[in-house]
Structure 1
């Protein structure tokens, strides 16, 4: 199991890196070359840089994903593609995207886009708070612990 972050704009990179270290999981951050960094990261963290352009990171994540990986993204479209590859997907709020809720989320996204296209104003996301960060971490810790207890975290290693 790897933790893969849709890195462009993710507010929880540091939390995921910390959880990867705590639980011995690899963390892969997929991001645009616009976000290239020389910052030193722990050995369990790797980067995949993609060219500039809409959805380039998303396409690379879909290509990179393996069964058993977990993805952290706020992109509903990417989440729907990743679910089809037998990976778990989490929003930075901690909400898990599932086959049971993804259609409704995609419909809400479409309706919002239609309203904006018609000149209507829609609410943007609320500011991400320290409490949101704590909630995300709590939910992911519980999910990792549950996966470890059921042996799910080793699904991708055993399928190689």
Structure 2
């Protein structure tokens, strides 16, 4: 029998505030642990049914905490393609704050595009950053997040 989702980890350093609030609202009555993992510089007010894990501000500390604590069927919300690529083989659900589901079949393309952008920046070329966060992004996130929670029987 497959193991049920036990924990939802949020890479809170780069997660937009409206998404953090949406997660708290949706998870208010969900019977799983909700862990916001953040460095000292990115802590937000704690709500009922959520817990904050505070790590050092060193580069990748949040990612390392998440990688070292997830188990199969946990859920991670992150914008970090590299972190997602490490989590997917572990059997973890991974979703971006904009509602994009990271999957084994799309992660290589995302990592390649990130590599090309990084190469351009190192060459001194200007690269477009992410588009401004919009209401539609929050709605897409909410829909995808709830879809996974329903699939797991948590909503």
**What TM-score comes out, normalization by structure 1 length?**
0.86
Among 3, 19, 22, the residue aligned to 1:15: 22
- SS of the aligned residue for 2:53 comes to strand
Q: Secondary structure at the match of 1:101?
A: helix
Equivalent of residue 41 in structure 1, options 37, 44, 47:
47
Return the offset for 1:13: 1.0
Deviation at 1:47, TM superposition (A): 1.1
Gaps of 5+ in 1: 154-160
Say whether the 8 Å CA contact 1:32–1:52 is kept in structure 2.
yes
In structure 2, the partner of 1:156 is none
Q: What displacement does 1:84 show?
A: 2.1
For the residues of structure 2 that align with 1:89 and 1:15, how far apart are their CA atoms? 17
- C-alpha change, 1:66 and 1:34, in structure 2 (3 Å) is same
Residues 118-146 of structure 1 show CA distances to partners (whole Å, capped at 9, x for unaligned) of 11111100110122111110121122212
After TM superposition, list the pairs within 5 Å mapping 1:1-160 onto structure 2: 1=5, 2-11=7-16, 12-37=19-44, 39-42=45-48, 44-148=49-153
User: May I ask how many residue pairs the two structures share in their alignment?
Assistant: 147
Most deviating of 135-144 and 99-108: 135-144
C-alpha RMSD over aligned residues = 1.4
Structure 2 runs not aligned, ≥5 long: none
User: TM-score, with normalisation over the residues of structure 2?
Assistant: 0.89
Question: Could you say what secondary structure the match of 1:49 adopts?
Answer: strand
